[in-house]
Amino acid sequence: MLPFKGHNAIVSALLPYWLHLRPRSWGIVFAHYLCGSLVVIPHARGENIFQTLGATLAGGLLWAICLNGGTLALNSAFDRDEGDIGYLDNPPPPPRFLALFSLVLLCGGAVLAALWMPASFSRLYWVCLVLSILYSVPPVRLKAVGGADLVVNMAGYGAATFAAGGLATGLLPQLPSFVPARLYLGALGFAFLFGAFYPMTQIYQIPEDRARGDRTLAIMLGVKGSLVFAIVFELLALLAHLAGTQVGSAAGLHSLAAGAVVAIGGIAWLIFTADWLRRWETYPGKRGMYRALWLWAVSDVLIVLAYGFLLRTS
């Protein structure tokens, strides 16, 4: 009985560390990252596909678990939320060494990226690591500064995660210039799209954030203002993604089909957000956030279809 009890005590002590890494987010982040890879890989010719896929998988694990998981845990260490948070309902109290654990995970991932991954991927990881610390840790704590929190998340989750997938393949230097151009226009579009999504993640947390004294974007704009803001950024995302279909030698039916596919995703976002705005007083904010996550997944798939396959012959 004693070893069993000791085992239970160890599991109980370690479980909060695991939960604050928010594993439910890993698949979402990895999928967005992978879409950046799938925009690039179909254009490769005569490359070692197994080596490329191995590098892509390794980079995705570093990005989704070490960088994303470490960032979320670091954020929990300083937020000390008591209510539901993104990807974690009824969170346990942050354990004593959560901040240290998070930093070790973040920096460990950076070291592995420097050893295993293309230099461009490693540099981007380091940039995002610094942004993560500035975002969560006092006295800077950009999360509590309305506007700054938006820019950091647009750059990190929206643009950098998508771009990292393409950079991890190591293929860009050998491919025509329109391939990286599409990757970066796709990343720009997702930066704007995350700008639309970000206040949706904060709307249901307004009471708790306000009680803590944070000045988040959703608090500054209010619910209606946040949704109008989201619609503007959805339009900007659509324009950037449509621009990506026109890069390179694409012409005729291929570019028209790619543009139509991209437009479907953009219009779906606009319809969804307009409906939320129409019913803003009674609309369930947390449920709206998770519905928006499903729309994000649809957008990822549509961009891969348009950029990676419909325009593959360009």
Q: What is the pLDDT of residues 32-51, one digit of tens each?
A: 999 999 999 998 876 678 88
Q: Do 55 and 170 belong to one domain?
A: yes
Q: Do 160 and 214 belong to one domain?
A: no
Residue scoring higher pLDDT (221 or 82)? 221
Q: Do 167 and 181 belong to one domain?
A: no
Structural domain of 227: 177-314
| 4 lies in some domain | no
Mean pLDDT of 83-102: 86
Three-class SS state of 88: strand
Separation of alpha carbons 162 and 247, rounded Å: 18
The residue among 145, 175, 205 that closes a domain is 175
| 220 lies in some domain | yes
pLDDT at 248: 75
Q: Do 150 and 163 belong to one domain?
A: yes
Q: Do 264 and 187 belong to one domain?
A: yes
Stated pTM of the model: 0.90
The residue among 133, 154, 175 that closes a domain is 175
Residue 1 scores a pLDDT above 50: no
pLDDT at 249: 57
Q: State the Cα angle at 190 between 90 and 140, rounded to 5°.
A: 60
Contact 124, 156 (CB under 8 A): no
Contact 153, 190 (CB under 8 A): no
Q: Which residues are within 8 A (CB) of 253 and not within 5 positions of it... i.e. 6 or more apart?
A: none
Q: Do 125 and 170 belong to one domain?
A: yes
pLDDT digits (tens, 9 = 90+) for 214-242: 777 888 899 999 999 999 999 999 999 99
Quote the percentage of the chain above a pLDDT of 70: 94
pLDDT category, 3, cuts 50, 70, 90? low
Separation of alpha carbons 265 and 273, rounded Å: 13
Separation of alpha carbons 138 and 261, rounded Å: 43
Q: Which residues are within 8 A (CB) of 15 and not within 5 positions of it... i.e. 6 or more apart?
A: 92
Q: Do 93 and 202 belong to one domain?
A: no
| 7 lies in some domain | no
Mean pLDDT of 289-307: 95
Of 122-131, 137-146, 290-299, least confident by mean pLDDT is 137-146
Residue 4 scores a pLDDT above 60: no
Q: Do 124 and 195 belong to one domain?
A: no
Question: Can you say how many angstroms the Cα of residue 33 is from the centroid of all Cα atoms in its chain?
Answer: 8
Among residues 313, 28, 267, 299, which one has the least CA distance to residue 186? 299
Number of domains the chain contains: 2
Q: Which residues are within 8 A (CB) of 18 and not within 5 positions of it... i.e. 6 or more apart?
A: none
Q: Do 256 and 207 belong to one domain?
A: yes
In one-letter notation, the amino acid at residue 241 is: H
Residue 50 burial (C-beta neighbours within 10 Å; 0-12, 13-18, 19+):
exposed
pLDDT at 130: 97
Quote the percentage of the chain above a pLDDT of 90: 69
pLDDT category, 2, cuts 50, 70, 90? very low
pLDDT digits (tens, 9 = 90+) for 164-217: 999 999 999 989 999 999 999 999 999 999 999 999 988 988 888 788 777 778
Q: Do 91 and 205 belong to one domain?
A: no
pLDDT at 40: 95
Q: CATH no. for residue 264? A: 1.20.120
Q: Do 214 and 231 belong to one domain?
A: yes
